[in-house]
Amino acid sequence: MKILSALAGISLMIATAGSATAQRLKLIEGSLDAIQSETSLNFDFSYDNMSVGKFDKEADYVAKKTAEYNNKEDGRGDRWAKAWVDDRKDKFEPKFIELFTEYSEKSQSRNAKYTLIFKTTFTEPGFNVGVMRKNAVIDGEVWIVETANPSNIIAKISVEKALGRTFGGYDFDTGGRIMEAYADAGKALGKFVKK
């Protein structure tokens, strides 16, 4: 009995370690020196050319999921497709900004000298069907630009494997899982900028 308990504990640790891979941030161009003395930043988000799961084009993923849900229940897919887009402004962006401002100690201001643009390049929505689950993951690129002249790019930072996971695994909603990936990205990027 003790051996079985020990083996179960080891299996759980291995499974947890595999799913808790830390995200990677890397300054790929420019310098963050210009924003160090700034107390606020403006924020913008882009989802252009984003791939989703195994789909190279987001539109293909949305079309497939919409059709699947509509086949199960009339109108369900259409509601899901609307939430897929609405969650960006309602959940993802506010959560990213909340965690970024907390950890960078920079406030949000439309009048800030610099704008942080988070360009999501990949989204893995994950799933939770009770007995099995997969974390959401996002990848992206952050551009710090001059607000008055967005073509003046101050810095670019790559963001890889920001994980969306919730305590206790009660993340049955796609938007909730992905929101946590944006929270993870915001927190890590806030710390990265503050260094």
pTM: 0.84
Q: What DSSP element (H or E) covers 121? A: strand 114-124
The per-residue pLDDT for range 140-194, each reduced to its tens digit, is 999 999 999 999 999 999 999 998 876 555 455 788 889 999 999 999 999 999 9
Token duo for residue 99? 């965690």
CA end-to-end span of the chain, whole Å? 49
Interacting residues of 188 by C-beta distance below 8 A, sequence separation 6+ = 23, 25, 159, 162
Closest by Cα among 130, 86, 121, 107 to 35: 107
The per-residue pLDDT for range 78-129, each reduced to its tens digit, is 999 999 999 999 999 999 999 999 999 999 999 999 999 999 999 999 876 6
Name the pairing type of β-strands 127-128 and 51-52: unpaired
- Give me the phi and psi of 150, to 5 degrees please: -60, -15
